[in-house]
Chains A and B, each alone.
Chain A
Amino acid sequence: MITSILTNQRNKELSWYRELLVVLIRRNLKRRYRGSFLGIYWSLLNPLAMTSLYAAIFGATFAEYYDNSTLNYILAAFTGLVVINFFSASTAQALSSVVENGGMVNKIRLPLFIFPLSSIGANVFQLLMGAFPLLVVVTLIFSRSLLNVVALLFPFTGLILVCTGVGMLMSALYVFFRDLSYFYELLTFVLWISSPVFYPAEIVPEAVTRFLILNPILPIIESIRQISLSGNFPDFGLIIHSLLSGLIVLTIGTVAFSSWRSQFMDLL
């Protein structure tokens, strides 16, 4: 009987977390767009503008690596940008989320991990409304297969896991180090340059390529490109690699967050 009471309590707690997540995601989105639904499409403006810029500058030079097609280069750059933009926007928002809500958690009992999660969640919603449907269309055109569209969900799951892990880690560190955002900007820039977003992976010297394995975003970009642009059957190796990368980063983030959590309240 006692166990049934306990599970009952745990279920209650879980459904409370779910409700909290929903209202906080809605709050984040509303605050960003002030209720204008079209606002979400502004988030597409950035990758589209960047893509055309890259195409104008590098398109001609790099086309040879993409079967001599500028269109292929444009699509590769766009998919890369969607991923890297999602990563930097969602983790940067997660980074400050716990500290920003510090006043509130001193007045009401709230689970602290809900704040980085809701920042990531708001960005996931934005992705699903904006760039993701575009990628689905591109995938359908290239592969003519619904299987590839379904497979697209896996590398994106990997991406969300990576961002959640990094977001948890950074939001925890930011409680202790308020100058972290400057360092973090540098870190995202390194990650951005070291991901083959606007250049073909082939031009990187072999000595450097070895270090690029450390970049958790890399297998995700590769997998998404393979599924949506190659027109081939989804590569399971790449999918598993991107999911694994997500799980590893998520584990690191969760462990760090939960082991430092007890010290948070003294500093918020």
Chain B
Amino acid sequence: MQESIRLDGVSLWRRTQEEFSYDLKRTIFSFLEGKYRHPAKKIVLDNINLTIGCGEKIGIIGANGSGKSTMLKLISGILQPTSGTVRVKGKIAPLIELGAGFDPELAVMDNIVLYGVMLGYSQEEMRNRAKLILEFAELESYALVPVKGLSSGMTARLGFAIATDIKPDILILDEVLSVGDVSFKNKCSQRMEEFWQDHVTVLLVSHSMEMIRQNCHTTIWLEQGQIRMVGKTKDVVSEYLQCVTHQEENTPSVTTQV
């Protein structure tokens, strides 16, 4: 099987939030007083090794802050690893947040071109595809309306329609499919279904175990920046759920002790 994504010994350190010094005045003063310290860093992903083949459907689960979204950002090229290498083959459609590249002041039509170019398509391509995109998003009569005039559901629809209009090689989904009304949800899942049938590699982050079970063959369980378990979705999810309920049973007794 051909490789699609490969992470070799990937670690990522980031600055901790408390250390944000956004202030020139304060930095200069602390420098003069000799109190300047280098910003503290925290490890977010710790030595991740992972190979994903073409066409695999991978689920990613784990608690909040375990590094799921960070890993997706590394794979999409938004973040660079501190050490290790990330290799990705093919075109990525990052559905990390629908409509993240939209400019609310601009018309829907302009935003289609803007967002499309940001995702790596040419302006001409986007202009040619605009009609189909509007059709799919059911926003034909809104082409000249500024995006701030759309409802949040409509914006999400538009974002989804643009990002998935051209079939990508790798699809990255971060809890985004829970938007839109029922009829649009069906339309989304229909398009997803097509991708699922084809040889599109899919990475899906979700807290809904139901969704992971339905859609993914393999699942990765992240815990505190490390891979706790990789394997068949069935096994990983049941292990994860067991662990979570186990923790829940334990935590109350701990708090009462304190």
A30, B122: Cβ atoms closer than 8 Å: no
B105, A31: Cβ atoms closer than 8 Å: yes
B117, A267: Cβ atoms closer than 8 Å: no
Per DSSP, chain B at the interface is loop
Interface check B179, CB cutoff 8 A:
no
Q: Which residue of A lies closest to B99 (CB)?
A: A107
Q: Which residue of A lies closest to B98 (CB)?
A: A107
B114's contact among A27, A179, A267, by CB below 8 Å, is which?
Answer: A27
Contact A107 to B94, CB < 8 A, known contacts A23-B117, A27-B110, A266-B15: yes
Nearest Cβ in chain B — how far from A80, in angstroms? 30
Interface check A127, CB cutoff 8 A:
no
B23, A30: Cβ atoms closer than 8 Å: no
Nearest Cβ in chain A — how far from B205, in angstroms? 14
Q: Which residue of A lies closest to B102 (CB)?
A: A104
Instruction: Give the size range of A's interface with the partner.
Output: 20 to 34
A265, B22: Cβ atoms closer than 8 Å: no
Distance, CA A22 to CA B124, complexed state (A) = 12
A31's contact among B23, B78, B103, by CB below 8 Å, is which?
Answer: B103
Contact A107 to B78, CB < 8 A, known contacts A23-B113, A27-B110, A266-B15: yes
Q: Count A/B pairs, Cβ under 8 Å.
A: 81
B100, A103: Cβ atoms closer than 8 Å: yes
Instruction: Give the size range of B's interface with the partner.
Output: 20 to 34
Per DSSP, chain A at the interface is helix
Interface check B138, CB cutoff 8 A:
no
A104, B114: Cβ atoms closer than 8 Å: no
Which residues of A lie under 8 Å from residue B123 when comparing CB positions?
A: 19, 22-23
The 7 closest A-B pairs by CB, nearest first: A107-B100, A177-B24, A178-B22, A109-B77, A266-B15, A23-B117, A107-B97
Can you offer 17 A-B residue contacts whose CB atoms are under 8 A?
A19-B123, A23-B118, A26-B110, A31-B106, A34-B105, A104-B100, A104-B118, A106-B73, A108-B94, A108-B101, A109-B77, A178-B23, A179-B23, A183-B24, A263-B15, A265-B80, A267-B15
Interface contacts beyond A107-B78, A179-B25: sample of 16 additional A-B pairs, CB < 8 Å, sorted by A:
A19-B123, A20-B117, A23-B117, A23-B118, A23-B123, A24-B114, A27-B103, A31-B105, A107-B100, A108-B118, A108-B119, A110-B118, A176-B24, A177-B27, A179-B23, A267-B22
